[in-house]
Structure 1
Amino acid sequence: MIALNGREARAVEEAWAVAVAAGDPVAVLTEYARGVQCSVTTVPLTTALNGPCGGADGAVPAKFCGPGVVALDPLWIRTRPSEAGPWTAWSHVASGACPQDVLPALTVADFRRLPLPPTPTTVQPGTGYVLVGYGIIVTADPAPVDLTTTLLGYPVTVHATPTRYVWDFGDHTTLDTTDPGLPYPTDGSTPPAGPDSPYPAGSHGHPYTAPGTYTLTLTTTWTGTYQIAGDPTTRPITGTATTTTTHPPLTVVERRTHLVADTCLTNPHGPGC
């Protein structure tokens, strides 16, 4: 009698199915199936696949895997000497198992294939332009997201959390941080500046030193956990995924002050008009 655990049994099934699909002449001499196990007092163990289960003990009840989750029946094998030969009776390979116990881990490659959304951001001021020497303040949304996928047909919920933010300001300078930053208040208040910085404490500010058009991007690194439907266990995903948020071009302009006798309304051709 072969005795495999749930995950080993699932791997054997999958390898056999692949070999059969590829036309392996040896694989067609073996067949795997899942079916109800008859009484545990039967020696050797047998299944309803071999015919009705007899005896007073009846069939072995299926495992309980959680509300709404259907357990996998035990795995059985039968063989034949040739494609034209007779099949043997089904013999036991592995006991019944819960889907969450036999599924492979959700890999980092699976994680990176999910449609993680680019991180929402705020760039202040939101005018699309800024003066040379004046800074912008950038903020990332730190909210986690939940996504759904499947593992071998079973629903899985993935919980992704942003953990790192790399801002590229388009002028050959970057900011690498684990802090999403705080926006400049819009209620008219003036927050205190941070230490050694003209920007409010907790915010991420960046001045541009030369006129031009700059493309601002944010690369967010995500970590994740996943949970299989019906299983209360939260499992970590080994590895990270990234997304990139690209902003509309930002124009940096230079303005000079002039002492004039008239305004541009009264003298449209005056200095600076």
Structure 2
Amino acid sequence: MAEGKIVKALSGFYYVQSGEDRYQCRGRGVLRKNKVTPLVGDQVEFEESNPGEGYILAIKPRKNELVRPPIANIDQAVIVVSATQPNFSTLLLDRFLVLIESKHIEPMIIISKMDTIDDEKESQIAQYKQDYEQIGYVVESVSIKQLDEIKQAVRHFKGKISVIAGQSGVGKSSILNAINPQLKLETNEISESLGRGKHTTRHVELIEVNDGLVADTPGFSSLEFNELQIEDVPDCFPEMRERKHACKFRGCMHHKEPKCAVKLAVENGEIPTYRYQHYLQFLEEIQNRKPRY
């Protein structure tokens, strides 16, 4: 019996990396019986049946997992947002951040296409960058053509399993291709009429980038808060999480309660107003969600 990590899933086969070798494996019946589907990123026990082929016998406990893309044991989610085309949106960024925080995955932000904006827009984005860094997020701004900027950004990939998330057309594949031209990941121009790119990625695979592994698939094709409970939302905002102990009421939702440390921080300019507005918007969205039976 050997151990390894699933680095690719395609047509019912799981490709397990064990040391320098890669094995094409199928899942054993015991997994199906226990209704366990192996995921890319899983640490597994397998046995070799023929040279380079084998069967997965057991899956080690996961620290987290995503449904889209189907991947487990993620160390960080890299959210790529573009300065323009599509326009930089703090609302969309906060949506991604909340979804990632709710899965207990470390987020990192890359702002792309910085070479395509004017000075006014640049200073606006510099302010946003500062806001998110103050919250505690790692934020890197890059121009797709500036390789040294991209290399600076991807130093955070080292030794980690990363998933890349972001709207279509923000330059996710371009960034990875710039670091490792052998990837030849498909990129698509933005379809102007829709203002969004076409999906080009079809299967899930972990590829080596900068001594780490990156899923070459768009993360979070759905940005719905279907799995999120309303009481979990405050903890998905780090600046609220660290202030909740100072609120008068335990379990404060930072909305209508008196003596709330979060609302005070918003009034004092310690928390950006737009972050708080998005928080209230997300609360309302989850509250109005239709129950699923």
Normalised by the length of structure 1, the TM-score is 0.22
Larger Rg: 1
* Structure with the higher fraction of residues in strand conformation: 1
More contact order relative to length (CA 8 Å, sep ≥ 6): 1
* Structure with the higher fraction of residues in helix conformation: 2
